[in-house]
Structure 1
């Protein structure tokens, strides 16, 4: 990645997705025993950070790179790509697992993308997307591997770096685009800030890979945090992550649910499980963060209402 390109990326991204709310949440901090600030990447038309990257991808396509695009998605990338493609007259096809949250699948359809469903999980969707893009001869967007998805997410880091002093930033870790993007900017502009990646214990592949310093795959996924539930880390992304992340930790499902409840009760935020990973990490290791100022990136709020009520107990 490159700081000049990341700064230039802001000009290609619709301002609707930039300068999202960033504030210290006193009630949440008092509950967790440290100062906690929230970066709300949910306050936009697709309710996740993913459009920062899809805006870059589709701006290049609209500039002569093609009129169609395909991606695999757990839901949020698909909605973001559909939104960005529709406003530029580009045909988008999204491949998703049949069991993905209905709210995310409905959102993809509503934004005008062609939606193809496959049995299995996100890794099976990726295999179908690769074949489909090759058959049609169109651009395949591979989240975290395509540099635009990382540089789009890195613009979050620019906004954090321009803010008040912080001690650590907690980033949900899935494919790695957000973690590598934010991590790169923080290490370039605010190297004193600890970059901590957080992943569910039920989907630990990238975290295990970070600790082993080589790709570790898993056979199964068992987590409610569908947005970060991959099994096969991308080697190039792992290399980038190793260069910018200070730590990678795993959290339990009970802590994720508790984090969602804290964000609802203390911050008034309805979030999907992936967005609660940072709060979960603080809950599980309060001594590590005591007295410090931490930022957690609230990365998505596309959640099925019935499932959400079950998880938070409201």
Structure 2
């Protein structure tokens, strides 16, 4: 493998910094999904933890290192999941946490950030506007800026999911990973290529937020002026060059899926697997729905990465879609 920012030994060491409540998440075959998808599907369930997403694997590493030496305060920009995770990890270690979020972020996520004791600042605009404000807060207050995907600790925490997939005996031949900022995709992708290179790593992004996928395809950073997707957790517009460099080395493919497919995937997950998920977590199933021939007869793993979803919006999406 060509050199990336990752080191497998560091990823193994990261497991020791993460609260066990976030480790060894359930991985199981979901036979009820097979008839509708035409392939065997195993689910890696990253929602069965206190913040209901994979993000705390990374924030646990960040917070542990801050306690070991550095400012006792941190700020991040978040559409919701990273903010919750950093708030949880910081609270358990006595750190002061500030989260900057777009005011249009799901109310359920914002309420949970507040409940976890973080200071929440809302800004107009999208996640990119929140990132700009977080940079200013970090500079003005002299605190740690946690930049998801750019900070290697967030990627190494996510990469521990890959270690668990490799250690399993699931017998899958492809892993479907939601693609946003890239921490999950590059982390899991690195472990797959380092330890189980036969497994195909397929990244999935909404058609309405395609910046990282376009960047991967063109092998250079490509930005977009706006996003238009219900999958707020992966709706970035400005890919990070260092993250793209890592992704180019570990992703076998990057695909875009339509909103209707995301919603249908959410419906399938609740109807056939009993899983209420946020749109980003349904991207893997959406990819299968849009290309059944590609996955026919195969055994794939999809990482269900989050379940923090506004109940009213979820009900509207899942019940209003025509059968």
In the superposition, the TM-score normalised over structure 2's length comes to 0.97
Deviation at 1:65, TM superposition (A): 1.5
SS of equivalent residue, structure 1 residue 10: helix
Partner of 2:140: 135
Q: How many residues align?
A: 314
CA deviations on 1:138-195 (whole Å, 9 max, x unpaired) are 1000000000000000000000001122110000000000000000000011100000
Asked if residue 304 in structure 1 is aligned to residue 310 in structure 2, the reply is yes
Consecutive unaligned residues of structure 2, counting only runs of 5 or more, are 1-5
Partner of 2:8: 3
Partner of 1:224: 230
- Structure 2 CA distance, aligned partners of 1:203 and 1:147? 23
Q: Of 141, 153, 157, which aligns to 2:158?
A: 153
Spell out the pairing of 1:214-293 with structure 2 (5 A cutoff): 214-293=220-299
CA deviations on 1:184-243 (whole Å, 9 max, x unpaired) are 000011100000000000000000000000011000110000000000000000000000
Partner of 2:103: 98
Deviation at 1:64, TM superposition (A): 1.6
SS of equivalent residue, structure 2 residue 17: coil
Q: Which runs of 4+ in 1 moved over 4 A?
A: none
- Structure 2 CA distance, aligned partners of 1:70 and 1:29? 42
Partner of 2:23: 18
- Structure 1 CA distance, aligned partners of 2:103 and 2:162? 33
RMSD: 0.6
SS of equivalent residue, structure 2 residue 287: helix
Asked if residue 123 in structure 1 is aligned to residue 128 in structure 2, the reply is yes
Asked if residue 60 in structure 1 is aligned to residue 65 in structure 2, the reply is yes
Spell out the pairing of 1:137-216 with structure 2 (5 A cutoff): 137-163=142-168, 164-216=170-222
Deviation at 1:30, TM superposition (A): 2.0
Consecutive unaligned residues of structure 1, counting only runs of 5 or more, are none
Deviation at 1:291, TM superposition (A): 0.3
SS of equivalent residue, structure 2 residue 136: helix
Partner of 2:3: none
